[in-house]
Structure 1
């Protein structure tokens, strides 16, 4: 089979798993395992259906990077737990999910699945870097619309969007991004900047919604070109829009760098990261079987091991 890279927005998936399965799924000591089980089943399903040759679980080493907050203080602010003097921001994560994150890391390692993060950056940036430099087709699995900016039909990069659930994945290509939003993927960051995104604490430009943002980018191409034209003496930008852009000038100077994915991180290569899928050695299988028993993971481990076997194996 031809090579194909799958990049997982891991936090997006384990949050979905946690909220999708009952917390009555627990190991013997009472620790919940619903997120662990659900994530393993999601990965098994994705691998079985899309048959990647390489797989990376992209990790949030920093879910709210300081450099992004410095540009837009409201960035993800609604997800921050009560501030404590001298302490870094702590994301609001249910305690029962927090308990499962070390287990997720351990079981992914035992399954031979590469987990890659970057200090000071989000999983989105890890995915953006790998997707932008891969020499093979790429599937990015996420529930975050910002990753639509990676879609590239020429390079065969697409997004498997999970918003409607794993049984109803939406496959976004460059064409489908245009069909849905009337902007090209390379315009998506500018589009999101203008429109705003409450889920990330981005206010957008007051009075400019999706339709107006798309029509402005259709006419002017980029946010930079739009702002230049809006400031021109004989501007073709409508006066009300000029006023809205002027009122949001400070926000518009900072927001694009926050919304755009970083695509040039220094990351291990796919082979160095251990991203190539391969049959699990007997020792790893035994370790996974032990974890499955000790942690009450049911059939999730078996389904993952079965999916990781390539058809020719």
Structure 2
């Protein structure tokens, strides 16, 4: 059986990135009816460049389906530091899914779970028989790197990717993909608003995971730790376990996607009317990739 190459796109990461990359100049690119489209336009530029770069046979786009998930039940302050999205972005949430649909790409999302969980589940589902590339700007996804699962982190500027594979991961990060969750549990995540263990930052977390391999290894050897580290762990032990639960991408959520529906079949007769309705210029240049 021929191995397919499946691109799993972190839709929200691309949309937010695209919006803020253009919005800081006050450029919201509105249609004649006043609907902002800057996030969608930039999303497409990122997306089509990635398709051109990685040449997938199949593409699936995953989305968050609301601001609250099961993680908020575990820890109510999870992501509580995030304000409401900018008003110019709000109408683009539904529109972008219509655009993705026009490219014959399935939109996948599930209430109560994050896009990360959908991506993790699909990646594990497909990895046995196919090559999977996760396209995101989110470092949390690095925990998914495995046999046949690569994570492409978008760096600053367009067309600038760093591809993490099972072969190069340790060389780049100094730990293994499965250790990412334990490291985040120790150091916390200010972007997602969970504290980890107070007083343990990235450098200390990395050193501890390198030395003791896992949180279990660390807790089994507290007698070898300095009094300061031991006290911090004892004080925040419950938060350590909660943080690990928050950091871990769930790879067994009830989502699926028939591979047949995700085959890359860009049909210009379907795409062009959609993009014209958003009054995008430079269509030919943007869609050159869809002819490949």
TM-score (norm 2): 0.91
The alignment partner of 1:78 has SS state of coil
1:20 is paired with a residue of what secondary structure?
A: helix
- Select which of 163, 173, 184 maps to 2:165: 173
Deviation at 1:156, TM superposition (A): 2.5
Alignment of 1:104-183 (within 5 A): 104-134=96-126, 135-152=129-146, 155-183=147-175
Question: Which of residues 269, 285, 288 is equivalent to 2:271?
Answer: 288
Partners of 1:101 and 1:27 in 2: how far apart?
A: 16
- Residue 138 of structure 1: CA displacement? 1.2
Structure 2 CA distance, aligned partners of 1:93 and 1:171?
Answer: 29
Alpha-carbon offset, residue 182 of structure 1: 1.9
**What runs of 5+ residues in structure 1 fail to find an aligned partner?**
81-91
2:137/2:154 contact within 8 Å kept: yes
**2:10 corresponds to:** 9
Structure 1 ranges of 4+ moved more than 4 A? 302-305
SS of residue in 2 equivalent to 1:25: coil
* Contact 2:197/2:237, CA 8 A, preserved across alignment: no
Q: Deviations over 1:128-167 (max 9, x none)?
A: 1111221211111111111000112xx2311111142333
1:100 alignment partner, SS class: helix
Q: Deviations over 1:158-209 (max 9, x none)?
A: 1111142333211122354423432110000110111111111121212222
Secondary structure in 1 matching 2:274: helix
Instruction: Count residues with an aligned counterpart.
Output: 286
- Residues 192, 259 of structure 1: 8 Å contact kept: yes
- What displacement does 1:21 show? 2.3
Aligned Cα RMSD in Å? 2.0
Q: Give, in angstroms, the shift of residue 127 of structure 1.
A: 0.7
> How much does 1:68 deviate?
0.8
Matched, 1:59 2:47: no
Structure 2: distance between partners of 1:299 and 1:279: 17
The residue that corresponds to 2:42 in the other structure is 38
SS of the aligned residue for 2:272 comes to: helix
Question: d(CA) in 1 for partners of 2:28 and 2:72?
Answer: 37
In the alignment, the residues of structure 2 paired with residue 297 and residue 14 of structure 1 have an alpha-carbon distance, to the nearest angstrom, of 16
Query: After the TM superposition, which residues 1-313 of structure 1 pair with which residues of structure 2 at under 5 Å, given as runs?
Result: 3-22=4-23, 23-65=27-69, 67-80=70-83, 92-134=84-126, 135-152=129-146, 155-230=147-222, 235-271=223-259, 274-280=261-267, 285-300=268-283, 302-303=284-285, 305-310=287-292
